[in-house]
Amino acid sequence: MFAYRLLRISRNDPTPLPGFEQDDYVREAGFDNHPLQDLIQEFEHLRRANILAINHMSNESTLRRGTASGYTVSARALVYMLVGHVDHHMASLHEKYLPGIK
């Protein structure tokens, strides 16, 4: 969702982007029905696609602002959110499934 918002805002799309209920999205994803290796590979591909897209953005496009979930946000802020969100999920994985492993 952050990547989608980043794309729209960095491309100067003025359409306000609605919020979403993350728990609904996760529940409907069916992650439990996929092998862990497939999920890891999907994450790697999506992460690489995001990095490539960000690396090709102009400084001007990262300064653009839009509305997401009723709040004004810049494309640059969404880049930071993408990074921080991954860190958040990694911490959750370690806390829930890999306690004691750094």
Is 100 a residue whose pLDDT tops 80? no
Q: Considering only 15-24, 40-49, 86-95, which range has the smallest mean pLDDT? A: 86-95
pLDDT at position 102: 63
Q: pLDDT of 21-79, one tens digit each?
A: 988 988 998 888 988 889 889 989 999 999 999 999 999 999 999 999 999 999 999 99
User: Under 8 Å CB-to-CB from 93, ≥6 apart: which residues?
Assistant: none
Which CA distances in Å does 58 have to 42, 83, 92? 27, 18, 33
- pTM as predicted: 0.84
In angstroms, the CA 1 to CA 22 distance is: 9
Angle, helices 2-10 vs 36-55, to 10°: value is: 20
β-bridge pairing 65-68 and 71-74: antiparallel
d(CA 80, CA 94): 21
Residue 15 clears pLDDT 70, i.e. is over it: yes
